[in-house]
Amino acid sequence: MRHGAAHGWIEVVAGVMFSGKSEELIRRIRRALIAGRRVQLFKSHLDDRYGGQFQISSHDGRQVDAEPVSNSVQLAEKVDADTQVVAIDEAQFLDDGICEVVDALADAGMRVIVAGTDMDFRGEPFGPMGLLLARAERIDKLSAICVVCGDPATKNQRLIDGKPAPAEGPTIQVGGAESYEARCRRCHEVPKRDRAQGELGLGAGEPGA
């Protein structure tokens, strides 16, 4: 890690799936490359969207490859001492230790850009994302488009065989048959939550009615 006068910070790009977090991360990395910064990009090994081929290039031909990591310790080990910008995609899949790691990197003068889905399919904080949002100097929360009604979407809808998945399922399903949609609060369905609302005496009318 680099010490000295450099000024580091943490920025988080959060939001629902399909909200353009990866696009925004790529945009920021491209601009960092244009600025001549030394950049490293990491992604969780649980995410295979990139198929091991993920590269970001600048117009002057410089290139950044995404390095897969399985936990925060591994990520910390892979950061080179002379790196100036550390970008992390799909941070929701990492352990809570990532908070200390990104804090240390920022303290050492690095700009740390973290992208991740901040809510799981139930609408609860996903992995370390809530803690990362609390530590960040800058937060951008992106929305997608609700596939049901066309309003801005803020929630991840998990579907199994095309039907809303119950809240009891695991937060991370690897290789499962489920699929995901971006939905707004009104169109988001988590079967157990409806029951919980019933127990709380909610959902039987307008709030305060």
**Nearest-CA neighbor of 6 among 106, 150, 138, 74?**
106
d(CA 98, CA 91): 8
SS3 letters for 152-202? Answer: EECEEEEEECCEECCCCCCCCCCCCCCEEEEECCCCCCCHHHHHHHHHCCC
Q: Is residue 148 at the binding interface for Zn ion, with CB under 5 A as the rule?
A: yes
d(CA 108, CA 172): 32
Q: Is residue 146 at the binding interface for Zn ion, with CB under 5 A as the rule?
A: yes
Cα within 13 Å of Cα(90), Cβ side: 18
- Interface segment toward ligand ADP; rule CB under 6 A; list 18-26, 31-39, 102-110, 199-207: 18-26
Q: Is residue 139 at the binding interface for Zn ion, with CB under 5 A as the rule?
A: no
The entry of Zn ion, ligand ADP, none that residue 127 binds, CB within 5 to 8 Å by partner kind: none
Q: Is residue 48 at the binding interface for ligand ADP, with CB under 6 A as the rule?
A: no
Interface characters, 52-91, with ligand ADP (x: CB under 6 A): ----------------------------------------
Residue of 23, 48, 107, 137 that binds ligand ADP (CB under 6 A): 23
Shortest Cβ 55–ligand ADP spacing (Å) = 15
